[in-house]
Amino acid sequence: MAEGVIGSFARERERLNELVMHYADLTVKRFYGLDSQAYRDGALSRKTKELLGLVASLVLRCDDCVKYHIVQCEGQGASAAELVEALAVGLVVGGSITIPHLRRAVEAWDELQSASRQD
Amino acid sequence: MAEGVIGSFARERERLNELVMHYADLTVKRFYGLDSQAYRDGALSRKTKELLGLVASLVLRCDDCVKYHIVQCEGQGASAAELVEALAVGLVVGGSITIPHLRRAVEAWDELQSASRQD
Amino acid sequence: MAEGVIGSFARERERLNELVMHYADLTVKRFYGLDSQAYRDGALSRKTKELLGLVASLVLRCDDCVKYHIVQCEGQGASAAELVEALAVGLVVGGSITIPHLRRAVEAWDELQSASRQD
Amino acid sequence: MAEGVIGSFARERERLNELVMHYADLTVKRFYGLDSQAYRDGALSRKTKELLGLVASLVLRCDDCVKYHIVQCEGQGASAAELVEALAVGLVVGGSITIPHLRRAVEAWDELQSASRQD
Amino acid sequence: MAEGVIGSFARERERLNELVMHYADLTVKRFYGLDSQAYRDGALSRKTKELLGLVASLVLRCDDCVKYHIVQCEGQGASAAELVEALAVGLVVGGSITIPHLRRAVEAWDELQSASRQD
Amino acid sequence: MAEGVIGSFARERERLNELVMHYADLTVKRFYGLDSQAYRDGALSRKTKELLGLVASLVLRCDDCVKYHIVQCEGQGASAAELVEALAVGLVVGGSITIPHLRRAVEAWDELQSASRQD
């Protein structure tokens, strides 16, 4: 079966994160640690935090970040309706300039859903 | 008692929204309607959606939008811990450039809390 | 003849917009409607509005949006001189960070012009 | 009569531009020259170019730039309907995050209209 | 003597940073620590890093961040010529939309220079 | 040997810049001239200016601009430690949203280093 957008993204991300760690100074390493910490369960659930990260990524229009948080939202059990409502907030806040990223967000989500159905 | 940052913001916002409606064409009017609709209760609660709007506003660094969503989050019963965790996601996603806006977000939140305690 | 950047963009855009509509809630659907309405002839001609959309897309640095408005500007009869002057405003407002997008804007425009000449 | 938002903006802008020129190197000076050149009449009228500059400024959310182009649009004879339609394109492209800037754009426009009526 | 833009900014920044620390969770606190660490002397001097922070702040158009780094650059012994050349890089990269922030950057720098001359 | 990310970027950049010059008006041409001038040796060395351009490009999240400045930094003799410290400032200022671009920056740098070692 052909590798989808999620699979190729995940492999490339892992390969390049290793390269970043090879060159990283302490500031970069600590930033990576902080980036994990921010999404841990707390007063807000990790699912809610991943939705926050998703909307932030959509309005800042970063496809890789959107894809990453789509995978995390799916892993935390977000439903399609929850995902779309979060993306809709991002669309209204960020405007039509986010639409190309919204399209690719939905494509990634749809690919994850198809993969689940095939399991 | 001196009017705080929230009160003067709310009055100015209302005054200027009336002026916008005076000049608005149909597109502007429909956008305002859509902006209300996006935050209604659905698969995600209105509180969660206001937190999404808050984080989107923080990473896009719009003080007025941040203030608006701080007021809405407070009205929807968000706790200080929930608010800070949402802002922390925004800070990590958006970087130190968001710090001046984070400062003013916390100032607005603190003012709302002080007002509640005085009731 | 090999499909150019415009053709492959248009096909992908259509495929993914259908997927968006499959998942869309009412907010997303209404946003799509509003996005069409904003560019209709009014006090400003549709051509001028497409140029406005083009410059907005350039300074916000969205390649897909730039390509979309380039096609619309061409369809509304914008000349090469008009297009370049609009892009020049965007370049001065948005700075050298827009140059990679300016390059791809001109590539899309050139492809459309070549296609017209071959008709 | 109290000085409005336009008057105080124009005075402050002039004062600080003189200070910039005092410190400016050749790059900064040439940039200022280029910034004037981009809006001259050409294939597109200066009025259209000022509308392009206005929409670019709105989606990039710069109040001072918005105010500057509002004054120029008014000076070039743009009508209220033309102005609002241009702002509506910016609102749809840039999303609700532009609304605080849209409000202040309309305030500046309204002040200019009131001043004209009093002449 | 009237307090200048630098003095009032520094006082307000300190007051609000204390408020942030009052509400901060661990993520926010660690981010503040990282923000200090990134500018320490290393392979690049602290002066160069402050110039990097200044240009990053200018192109992202954050007045408070620009003011902060202007003060740090001055404290690290940057000359007026160095400062202007750094700002000129930011102006060319970020475009005319940065000009209002450039103006206020130069105002803050000029105020610091005047203060030095009066010592 | 397979062409790397740097080689294909450089070829594409040159091809499209020629196309831009074919269509360019005077404003666009003068902007290109200004863009070269801003990085010349002055009070700050060209190496420092390229690092400034790199950090500005990272926080504005433009892959092509990042790649361009990575090549220039390498040509001006920047060390790996200097490069990483500059990127770390950009990461802290710009937040986790810059990480995908940081990854590709490091990939480009690593490719240049491998090429040097093979000479």
Question: Is the CB of residue D56 less than 8 Å from the CB of residue C89?
Answer: yes
Residue from B101, B91, B40 nearest B65 by CA: B101
- Mean pLDDT, chain B, as a whole number? 96
Whether pLDDT at C1 is above 70: no
Q: Tell me the one-letter amino acid at A34.
A: L
Tokens 């390269």 label which residue?
A19
Average pLDDT for residues F55-61, to the nearest whole number?
A: 98
Cβ contact A88–C57 (<8 Å): no
What pLDDT, in 10s, does the model give residues F5-50?
999 999 999 999 999 999 999 999 999 999 999 999 999 999 999 9
Maximum C-alpha span of chain D: 43
Residue in chain B closest to A96 (alpha carbons) equals: B31
Q: Tell me the one-letter amino acid at A8.
A: S
Contacts of E20 (CB under 8 A, 6+ apart): B102, B103, B106, E28, E32
ipTM metric = 0.96
Question: Is the CB of residue D86 less than 8 Å from the CB of residue B26?
Answer: no
Maximum C-alpha span of chain F: 43
Residue A117 to residues A4, A39, A111, A113, D3, Cα–Cα distance (Å)? 15, 27, 10, 6, 66
E119 pLDDT band, cuts 50/70/90, is low
For residue B2, what pLDDT is reported? 60
Q: Which of A83, A106, A109 to mutate to test the interface with C (most CBs of C within 10 A)?
A: A106
Average pLDDT for residues C41-67, to the nearest whole number?
A: 98
What pLDDT, in 10s, does the model give residues D16-64?
999 999 999 999 999 999 999 999 999 999 999 999 999 999 999 999 9
Tokens 């902060």 label which residue?
E68
Residue in chain B closest to C37 (alpha carbons) equals: B27
What pLDDT, in 10s, does the model give residues C66-117?
999 999 999 999 999 999 999 999 999 999 999 999 999 999 999 999 888 7
- Touching A: which chains, 3+ CB pairs < 8 A? B, C, D, E, F
List chain A pLDDT tens, one digit each, 119 residues: 467 899 999 999 999 999 999 999 999 999 999 999 999 999 999 999 999 999 999 999 999 999 999 999 999 999 999 999 999 999 999 999 999 999 999 999 999 998 887 76
Q: Tell me the one-letter amino acid at A114.
A: S
For residue F119, what pLDDT is reported? 66
Percentage of residues of chain C with pLDDT beyond 90? 91
Tokens 């309005």 label which residue?
A59
For residue C85, what pLDDT is reported? 98
Tokens representing B51? 């937190």
Percentage of residues of chain E with pLDDT beyond 90? 91
Residue in chain B closest to E35 (alpha carbons) equals: B96
CA-based nearest distance D60→chain F, Å: 13
Alpha helices in A24-97 (DSSP H): 26-37, 46-59, 63-75, 80-94
**How many Cα atoms occupy the beta-carbon half-sphere of E62 within 13 Å?**
29
Whether pLDDT at C59 is above 80: yes
Torsion of CA D12, E70, E110, D71, to 10 degrees: -20
| Among B26-35, C52-61, C107-116, the least confident range | C107-116
Percentage of residues of chain A with pLDDT beyond 90? 91
Residue F84 to residues A26, A47, E38, E44, F79, Cα–Cα distance (Å)? 10, 33, 11, 10, 9
Contacts of A96 in chain D (CB under 8 A): 92-93, 95
What pLDDT, in 10s, does the model give residues E74-104?
999 999 999 999 999 999 999 999 999 999 9
Residue D91 to residues B25, D61, D67, Cα–Cα distance (Å)? 12, 11, 16
C-alpha C95/C-alpha C103 separation (Å) is: 13
Alpha helices in chain D (DSSP H): 5-23, 26-37, 46-59, 63-75, 80-94, 99-118
For residue A39, what pLDDT is reported? 98
Contacts of C8 (CB under 8 A, 6+ apart): none
Cβ contact D30–F37 (<8 Å): yes
C-alpha E36/C-alpha F18 separation (Å) is: 44
Contacts of E49 in chain B (CB under 8 A): none
Maximum C-alpha span of chain B: 43
What pLDDT, in 10s, does the model give residues E2-51?
678 999 999 999 999 999 999 999 999 999 999 999 999 999 999 999 99
For residue F58, what pLDDT is reported? 98
- Touching E: which chains, 3+ CB pairs < 8 A? A, B, C, D, F
